[in-house]
Amino acid sequence: MLGSFYAYLGVAIAVLFSGYGSAYGVGLAGRASAGVVTEDPKKFGQTLILTALPGTQGIYGFVIGMLMVFKFAAVPGPIPVEAGLRFLGAGIPIGIVGMLSAIAQGKVAAAGVGIVAKRPEEAAKGIVYAGLVETYAILAFIISFFLYNAINI
Amino acid sequence: MAIVPMKHMELYGLVRHRSSFLSELQRLGLVELVAPAEEEISSEPGEELRNQLDQIENRLAEVNRVLAICERFAPRKPNFIEQFAGMKTVLTWEEQQNYLAEREKLEELSSELFKSENEYARMEQEKVQVEREISQLRPWIRLDLPRHEWKGSTNIQVLLGSIEGSLSVFTEALAQEEITYSYQELGAYESRLYLVFFLLRKTRAEEILKNKGFVPTVPEVPTGTVQEYLDFLVKKKTELTEKLEAVKNTIKRIAEQHQMFETFYDYWHNLKLQVEANRQLLMSKDVFALEGWVEAEKADRVKKVLEAMGLPHYVLFRAPEPDEKIPIAMKNSTIITPFETLVESFSYPRQDEVDPSSAIAPFFFLCFGIALGDAGYGMLLALICSVLLWKMTMKPNGRKMAGMLLASGLGAVFVGLLTSSIFSFSPYKGIFSFVESPQILLIVSLGLGLVQLYVGTLISAWMNIRDGRVADAIWKQGFWLLFLTGILLTVGAPQLGWEQYALHIKYGTVIAAALLIIGNTRGKKGLLSKLMAIPGGILNIYGSVGFFSDVLSYSRLMALGLSGGVMGSIINMFVRMTWGVPVIGWLFSILIFLFGHALNMGLNVLGAYVHSSRLQYLEFFNTFFEGGGKPFTPLKIENINIFLKKEREV
């Protein structure tokens, strides 16, 4: 029983925190974008790209969570406590780093929306800045993935 | 890999012909004018020039206002692609000339448009006024006493007004003073009760009522009953609405001519550029001089065109002086050209650097391919971009961007076919699968990074050799690569089964490190400064940590490829699950397939683009490229709104 609880908790942490962070980040960038579009509706396309960027962390978390679900759903019977704890550990990096980096990325993307408003020809640079923040979510995703990959039940 | 060689150009002609020369140069669009040095400018721009500029600017402002009004009353809706690429009007040369010939029609239409807009604004204000009056009269609608009766009679006073709260407070107060009164309730409106009191004059009634909070108000009605006046106002409002609609239609009708306005906007914009170019001329009483840069290959063409004008002039081309700053233009083969956009959005190369476009192209192709990692997505992206290139009119930058994404999409097709991933389905056995063997994917990503950074270092060495600093290339980049390779082999020897060479490799690495430290002391005079340079050399060795962390940065390719792949297979799993549902299962599964993959593809393309560019900018450029060149900006005809279908033959 306890094993299953830990495993479920691992999935919950991976999906919940990264999802929260992405929602927050996309929300920040989305508000800034909406402000620009009220002035100039033609900038929808460029602002959309910036708004979508902080959304990836939620997807990384979801991918990890889904993979974990597949893995323990394939095993009949209860999950051993040790395996459960491993699932929990694997979920933590992408959960926590995903959340924090998505929020930070949302802030950078919102500032990037300012570039779109004032100097639309330089919008690509705003996208690159926001992309830099993503690095750390990617690193966490890779570690979460390899931790997950090492679990055998 | 080429920065276009430039030639310096000097042109002398007669002052009275200068507009013809400038106009011809602008039409050619091949010459960047250089402002004369500060001390050479003899006089301020003339009165005439300033007037001319003012005039053009006024015209431009007028057309701009016309376009703004058109956009306000008849906004043109951009389609999905135009939201990204901007809206363009495509005309043939004849159409453009026809528009430009109708200057009078433009004046006529603009003045009609301004008149209509004024009228619209005035009537709109009037309508607001009427609406306000209507809403003020609303509470009084049940007052059937006509206006002239409101004065009351000799004995009876008529008191109109409103109260807040309960009426009984007022009636009781009046009753207490034993005042005869009568009243009529007109109804409640916005939490106030409106009523009319009929009171005997010569009592304190009005005072008492006011003390209790009665607010006397007289509605603004010129004559007749409230209802009659209200009817009049409502009728007026309807009329105004109709008139407004009519004026709006007039404006919309004029706005249909937006192509003409846009044509004139572009015309005056370019005329302004041309007139402004006058500031870059040196002028004496009769002769003007002009300095500029032209691509070396195009110099002959410029010369011929100038000769064909048949005006007296003297033109001189020369190669740039060694320390002269030349403007930078890049020229590459058709396949590489689209990748210039990546360099342009980072920074133009300096004249002593190389154009990194062709070095970027194959690596961006592969990076993007791995990061997207699916033949289906790649094909779709390539198709979309080809359609864009084929059907849409775009500025050169847009074309480059679309071309770059087209090539990169093919990169994903390449990787996707190798690993057998088409919309995350795996119809045959590929060389390895992203999802099943992520370790291989990681090794491939890091390997690609290693190769790219080696290539970067080699380019840096090549630049040294090109500039005649062969020793630098060997001491700096040569031993650096040797040292890095040594470290790699030291770590990798057991895996490669080279244990018997382990000792040799270790010595080799140490020697390379020592040579690097010695290399850092080169060029230093005296023993002391040579010794002082040793810590710097050791720091260089430490730089290898930076190098390997740059290589590790390429692991992002694995993460992107993997998360896209897993996400895709999750979507496919849902598709398979819903397919089994009877009757409508197929419909849902098709919807899930389309929607899910569209979303996944969008996010993955975005991620692949952002991270592949980042790897070029931060990791790859770090090894050999700084940028900071000034882009070549010839005097030319700029297309703001209007694009010509066929350029006129020169």
pLDDT in tens, B82-125: 666 666 778 888 888 888 888 888 888 899 999 999 999 999 99
Instruction: Please give the backbone phi and psi of residue B35, each rounded to the nearest 5 degrees, phi first.
Output: -70, 140
Beta bridge partners of B288: B13, B283
Domain chopping of chain A, boundaries: 2-149
Q: Are B31 and B302 in contact (CB under 8 A)?
A: yes
For a pLDDT cut of 70, what percent of chain A falls above it? Answer: 100
Nearest-Cα distance to chain B for A108, in Å, is 14
- What radius of gyration, in Å, describes the C-alpha atoms of chain B? 40
Local structure of B74: helix, strand or coil? coil
Residue A145 scores a pLDDT above 70: yes
Chain A neighbors of B617, CB-CB under 8 A: 128
CA–CA min distance B95, chain A (Å): 27
| Residue in chain A lying closest to B570 (CA) | A66
| Closest chain B residue to A128, measured at CA | B610
Residue of chain A whose alpha carbon sits nearest to that of B553: A135
- What's the gap in Å between the CA of A6 and the closest CA on chain B? 23
CB distance B559–A134 less than 8 Å? no
State the burial class of residue B31 (Cβ atoms within 10 Å of its Cβ: 0-12, 13-18, 19+).
buried
pLDDT of residue B85: 60
pLDDT in tens, A13-47: 999 999 999 999 999 999 999 999 898 877 887 78
d(CA B200, CA B183): 12
Tell me the three state secondary structure of residue B128: helix
CB contact under 8 A, B610 and A134: yes
Q: Which residues of B touch A132 (CB under 8 A)?
A: 614, 618
Which of A64, A68, A135 is the best mutation test for B, with the most CBs of B within 10 A?
Answer: A135
Which among A66, A131, A141 is the nearest to B614, CB-wise? A131
Nearest CA in chain B to A132: B614
For B600, the closest chain A residue by CA position comes to: A59
Among all residues of chain B, which has the CA nearest to that of A116? Answer: B84
User: In the predicted model, what is the mean pLDDT of residues B458-470?
Assistant: 90
- For residue A43, what is the nearest residue in chain B, using CA coordinates? B83
Q: B51: how many CB neighbours lie within 10 A of its CB?
A: 10
* pLDDT per position as a tens digit, B479-490: 889 888 888 888
Task: State how beta strands B89-91 and B642-644 pair.
Answer: parallel
| Residue A116 contacts residue A50 (beta carbons within 8 Å) | yes
Strand (E) or helix (H) holding B292: strand B287-295
Distance from CA of A52 to the nearest CA of B (A): 8
Query: What is the value of pTM for the model shown?
Result: 0.78
**CB pair distance less than 8 Å for B607 and A67:** no
Could you tell me the CA-to-CA distances from A14 to A70, A96, B366 in Å, in that order?
Answer: 14, 8, 30
* Rounded distance between C-alpha atoms, residue A47 and residue B86, angstroms: 14
State how far the alpha carbon of B459 is from the alpha carbons of B223, B355, B473, B519, B625, in Å: 93, 11, 10, 19, 9
C-beta contacts of B457-466 below 8 A and 24+ residues apart:
B457/B481, B457/B623, B457/B624, B459/B354, B459/B356, B459/B359, B459/B623, B459/B624, B460/B623, B460/B624, B462/B354, B463/B353, B463/B354, B463/B624
Residue B1 has pLDDT above 60, yes or no: no
Interface touch B613/A128, C-beta < 8 Å: yes
* Angular region, B517: left φ>0, alpha ψ -120 to 50, beta rest: alpha
- Average per-residue pLDDT for chain B: 86
d(CA B340, CA A37): 30
The SS3 call for residue B35 is: coil
Q: What mean pLDDT comes out for the span B338-365? A: 90
Q: Of A45, A55, A63, which is closest to B567 when you measure between CB atoms?
A: A63
Give me A29's structure tokens.
Answer: 């960038």
Q: Where are the beta strands (DSSP E) in B148-191?
A: 156-163, 181-189
- Shortest CA gap A5–chain B (Å): 24
CA distance B357 to B450: 19
3-state secondary structure of B143: coil
pLDDT(B45) > 70: no
- Find the closest chain A residue to B616 by CA distance: A128
Q: Do B84 and A145 touch (CB under 8 A)?
A: no
State the pLDDT confidence band at B649, using cuts at 50, 70 and 90.
very low
Cross-chain Cβ contact B607/A128 below 8 Å: no
CB of B594 within 8 A of CB of B334? no
- Which of B437, B557, B563 best tests the A interface by mutation, with the highest count of A CBs <10 A? B563
Give the long-range contacts of residues B131-134, CB within 8 A, separation 24 or more: B131/B237, B133/B220, B133/B233, B134/B230, B134/B233, B134/B234, B134/B237
A131 and B78 within 8 Å at the Cβ level: the answer is no
CA–CA distances in Å: residue B122 to residues B119, B126, B242, B432 = 5, 6, 14, 73
Asked whether the beta carbons of A17 and A10 are under 8 A apart, the reply is no
Dihedrals phi, psi of B410, to nearest 5 degrees: -65, -30
Domains and CATH numbers, chain B: 144-218 (3.30.70.2750), 357-620 (no CATH)
User: Taking the CA of residue A138 as centre, how many other CA atoms within 13 Å lie in the half-sphere pointing to its CB?
Assistant: 25
pLDDT in tens, B7-19: 999 999 998 888 8
- Chain A hits for B558, Cβ within 8 Å: 142
Chain B residues within 8 A of A56 when measuring between CB atoms:
563, 603, 607
pLDDT in tens, B532-554: 778 877 887 888 888 888 998 89
- Subunit contact A52:B603, Cβ cutoff 8 A: yes
From the list A55, A66, A127, the residue facing B570 with the nearest CB is A66
| Two tokens, residue B53 | 């500029």
The pair phi, psi for residue B32, each rounded to 5°, is -95, 125
Mean pLDDT of chain A: 90
Residue B562 Cα, gap to closest chain A Cα (Å): 9
* Distance between CA atoms of residues B30 and B26, nearest Å: 8
pLDDT band at B388 (very low <50, low <70, confident <90, very high): confident
Chain A residues with CB-CB distance to B82 below 8 A: 42
Instruction: Give the CATH fold of the A2-149 domain.
Output: Four Helix Bundle (Hemerythrin (Met), subunit A) (1.20.120)
